[in-house]
Structure 1
């Protein structure tokens, strides 16, 4: 049998909601908007764990925010993709094959 490091309880409301006790939040390092995962074992016990948040690239996020602000501020600068630009893109990706249905490798996630 597994060693129990912490045991506590909470109550379900009429709408089947509960508050995660502060001792559990602290133990799992949970914050607002964090996600938790429930793993129900074959013996009926439940393991609750913190879902690892995906780290977003702050540089990409800032760049995309900059582009969005610039598009909103200067919509007159937006242009459709020209035929020559499409040809340039096609030249750059010529021979590159991708399978959008293929699973990602562990190092790609």
Structure 2
């Protein structure tokens, strides 16, 4: 059975606090790490290690931001995916075999 970790800290005049050592150890936090706070409806706060944004693909992040912006600015462009859409995708990819378990070549690793 896991034992809950409980600890206290004090807010300074500038609303800053030190994360207690027991919490830093439990979350494996180091200097300059980011912390994520989730505040639940009942006032409970969940403190967790923030996701490392630098591990995200910057091209994908930019592309998704572009898509989000475009969808917000042009909602009239949103079209449903239909059976004919799938049929066209199947037509365009027919005869192409993909082995998802195949190892990448050196050239593919750099892409």
Q: What is the TM-score normalised by the length of structure 1?
A: 0.48
Q: What is the TM-score normalised by the length of structure 2?
A: 0.47
